[in-house]
Amino acid sequence: MERKGQALRLAAIGPAALRAGLMAGMTLADARARCPALRTAPHDRLADARLLDQVAAGMARFTPRVAVDGVDGLLLDITGCGHLFAGDDALARLAVEQAALAGLSMRLALAPHAAGARALVRHAPPGPLLQDGAAVRAAIARLPIAALEAGEEALRGLSRAGLRHLGDLAARPMAGLAARFGEEVVTALRAIMGEGGSPVVPRPTVRPIRAVARFAHPIARTSDVLEVIEDLLEEVARQMEARQLGGRRFTIMLERSDHARRRLAVDTSQPQRDSAPVMRLMRERIETLADPLDPGFGFDAIHLAVPRTGPLPARQNRLDGEGREEDSIAALIDRLSTRLGEGAVLRLYPRNTHLPEKAQGLRPALHHGPAQGWAMPAQPRPLMLLEPPQPIAAVAGVPDGPPQRFTWRGNTHDIARAEGPERIAAEWWRQPLGHLPDYRAPTRDYYRVEDRAGQRFWVFRHGLFDEQAHPRWYLHGLFP
């Protein structure tokens, strides 16, 4: 669902919702009136666009000319490609399977021109895939005038004139149609009927960054292999420099004379195109192999690819010739991750939540992604939190006030100073889909308190008195 104007409307629906009589564009109130058990989720157009682009990239295995059509369609120019897949029917089946890998269903249509195929797939009733030219032309002629996707006023005028299908329009003089309904109608009609241009503008394809070395005589020594890898790294570094990119993952494919293959890969925490640190990681990887690098009768070819990259613009070196501290830390992370495994070296990252125990998480240091800023909380928080929070026995002067005394682990602390509260409500909007949000989840009131001995604590009352009769107190953190 998404907001349009002052109403929430359905942006897209599934097969079950379609069978229940719902349709895209319907207001959420009307949809729930028809289907009270309806489950909805916010519509993320950016995520949809990224997914469609990924599917388009996968379709490049069938043809190099793939274009994104709107927010939910793809145009593939398969001219001269069908014979590579045992015919257009087989190609179409493989395309459907490719979309199914992304969890998507697909409708297909074939036509000699892009505008005709687009009109068929969007406006023709479901049916078998048509390939015969005469059958395709007949199907196009039966399409409703909505396939023109002209302005609302033009479509209303065509309907009032008794023109229901594209075949009705094609049988009339184009000059008269243009004079009465506008040139837009004639231009769209000619494109769909194949009499006008409907070019396919393919999505730009990025040439992969890779290099290969083949040998007339196989090489067997590890030192020779490393020398070749270093030369290949210099070659891909020039490719990346031209694109202002740096590698995040480097893969090596070693082809033996007996057709066996061995793959090695190293990752870096920051984009990198200097061959020296990558070579150090390669040596680390080879040294830590459980199965030593066996050349057999020698390697015939070595392939180097950089499947994962990141932006790396040119930068000015320091005048004293010293490297930056973050570069040294990144090099240490890379070596430890290569030697111990990426899951052994972790870093903290911020999460989009205000609950203290969930405000940060751990992920492999190699895959931290772009730098993220840490949002400062409304009130200072301790560096050390107790997991889970420790229950305490507290005495407060007023029901919603700070504690005046509390007991923790058998020790009683008399409070000299207190500051707060910082009120944090439960995240009811994160409830699973299909569940009613729990608005009654207890609220937390946090206080920073200091006892008479100078010790500082972070405590909270779990629940307000109008939420539950006897809210409990907890100690969640310690200030230094």
> CATH number of the domain that 24 lies in?
3.40.1170
Q: Do 186 and 241 belong together in one domain?
A: no
Q: Which of 294, 107, 77, 86 is nearest to 202 (CA)?
A: 77
Measured CA to CA, the distance from residue 122 to residue 107 in angstroms comes to 9
The tokens describing 13, both together, are: 């629906």
Instruction: Tell me, yes or no, whether 238 and 110 share the same domain.
Output: no
CB-facing half-sphere around the CA of 429: CA atoms within 13 A: 6
Residue 72 has what pLDDT? 86
Q: Say if residue 113 is in the same domain as residue 142.
A: yes
* pLDDT at position 336: 83
Residue type at 258?
D
For residue 370, being part of any structural domain is answered with no
- Rounded to the nearest 5°, which phi and psi values hold at 56? -60, -40
- State residue 233's pLDDT score: 94
Q: Which domain holds residue 266?
A: 210-314+324-340
The verdict on 181 and 218 lying in the same domain is: no
Domain count along the chain: 4
d(CA 244, CA 310): 9
pTM of the model: 0.58
Is the distance from CB of 174 to CB of 145 less than 8 angstroms? no
181 and 247 share one domain: no
pLDDT recorded at residue 433: 47
Is 23 inside any structural domain? yes
Q: What is the number of residues in the chain?
A: 480
Task: Determine the Cα–Cα distance for residues 189 and 155; give it in Å rounded to an integer.
Answer: 12
Residues 68 and 14 in one domain: no
Residue 438 main-chain phi, psi, to 5 deg: -90, 95
Distance between CA atoms of 387 and 85, rounded to whole angstroms? 58
pLDDT at position 436 is 45
> What pLDDT was estimated at residue 239?
93
Structural domain contains residue 355: no
Going by C-alpha positions, the residue among 329, 206, 240, 228 that lies closest to residue 277 is 329
Distance CA 98, CA 66 (A): 14
Q: How many CB atoms lie within 10 A of CB 38?
A: 18
- Residue 375 covered by a domain: no
Residue 358 resides in a domain: no
At 234, the amino acid letter reads E
* CATH assignment of the domain containing 298: 3.30.1490.100
pLDDT of 342 reads: 78
- Buried-exposed string 226-260: b where 16+ CB fall within 10 A, e elsewhere: eebbeebbeebbebbeeeebbbbbbbbbbbbbeee
Instruction: Based on the fold, state whether residues 51 and 147 are members of the same structural domain.
Output: yes
Cis peptide leading into residue 313 (ω within 30°): no
Return the pLDDT at 437: 45
236 lies in the same domain as 331:
yes
Same domain, 237 and 255: yes
Residues 83 and 186 occupy one common structural domain:
yes
Q: Which of 163, 192, 221 is the last residue of a domain?
A: 192
- For the chain, 480 residues long, give each residue's pLDDT as a single digit of tens: 788 877 888 888 877 888 888 888 888 889 888 888 888 888 888 888 888 888 888 888 899 899 999 888 999 999 889 888 988 889 988 998 888 887 888 889 998 889 999 999 989 888 888 878 888 889 999 999 888 888 888 888 888 888 888 988 888 888 888 888 888 888 888 899 888 888 888 888 778 899 999 998 999 888 888 899 999 999 999 999 999 999 989 999 999 888 888 888 898 888 888 888 899 888 888 877 656 677 778 899 999 999 988 888 876 665 555 555 566 777 788 778 877 877 888 888 888 888 888 888 888 887 765 556 677 777 788 888 888 899 999 998 777 788 999 999 999 999 999 998 888 887 766 665 444 444 457 889 999 999 999 999 999 998 887 777 788 999 999 998
Please state, in angstroms and as integers, the Cα–Cα distance from residue 433 to each residue in 7, 353, 430, 436, 437, following that order: 21, 18, 9, 8, 9
Q: Does residue 454 lie in a domain region?
A: yes
**54 and 131 assigned to the same domain:** yes
Residues 6+ apart with CB under 8 A from 240: 209, 246, 247, 273, 306, 309, 312
Q: Is residue 351 a part of any domain in this protein?
A: no
Q: Are residues 114 and 214 in the same domain?
A: no
- Residue 108 domain flag: yes
Q: Residue 373: what pLDDT?
A: 65
Three-state secondary structure call for residue 194: coil
Check if the beta carbon of residue 191 is closer than 8 Å to that of residue 198. yes
Describe the crossing of helices 275-287 and 325-340 by its angle, rounded to 10 degrees.
20
pLDDT computed for residue 320 by the predictor: 57
